[in-house]
Homo-oligomer: A and B are copies of this chain.
Amino acid sequence: MLPRTYDNQNCSIARTLELVGERWTMLVLREAFLGRRRFEEYAERLGIARNVLSARLAHLVDEGVLEKVRYQDRPERFEYRLTAKGRDLWPVLSALRHYGDCHYAPDGPPVLVTHRGCGGELDDRRICRRCGAPLELADVEAHPGPGALSAAAPARG
């Protein structure tokens, strides 16, 4: 039998991929890092089948990356919040974003992540290019970048 999962891989990369490697999971987390919390927000932003979204959210709750919290009683409504274990994934998302910005963003980054208050951009070690501070998630904010509309816009020149 050939393994169908990475379970036999004693490797931290493989273990993390078990958590976040499924299609859409990382994009659900991207939305969570941008502050979205509700099923309908994820569904609308991602254009993802609702049953797939349900499965991905349930998986992330099971793994302790998101927690499902009731925020309204009548009718009962829930939202999803990043846990500490979830917020620890920020360096992974940052690394993926930086790579895409370098290799797949000919019109510039779709999203700029900057040091809140300072305005400097993050480098690939999550250090502020302007002031040199090592940045944590709470220190940064996201803005539309020069490539924000490039996929929808007509070719330039």
The answer to whether A72 has its CB under 8 Å from any CB of chain B is no
Q: A98 with B109: in contact, given A27-B6, A27-B13, A30-B13 (CB under 8 Å)?
A: no
Which of A54-62, A73-81, A89-97 lies on the face that meets chain B?
A89-97
The answer to whether A48 has its CB under 8 Å from any CB of chain B is yes
The answer to whether A68 has its CB under 8 Å from any CB of chain B is no
Please name all residues of chain B whose beta carbon is closer than 8 Å to the beta carbon of A30 when the two chains form the complex. 11, 13-14
Q: How many copies does the complex hold?
A: 2
The answer to whether A99 touches B91, judged by C-beta atoms less than 8 angstroms apart, is yes
Taken together as a complex, chains A and B put the C-alpha atoms of A88 and B95 apart, in Å, by 10
Partner of A26, one of B21, B91, B110, B125: B21
Cβ < 8 Å to B, chain A residues 1-57: 2-3, 6, 8-17, 19, 21, 23, 26-27, 30, 46-49
Pairs A–B under 8 Å by Cβ, sample size 15 = A2-B47, A3-B48, A10-B110, A10-B152, A11-B110, A12-B96, A12-B105, A15-B100, A15-B104, A17-B27, A21-B21, A88-B102, A91-B124, A92-B92, A92-B95
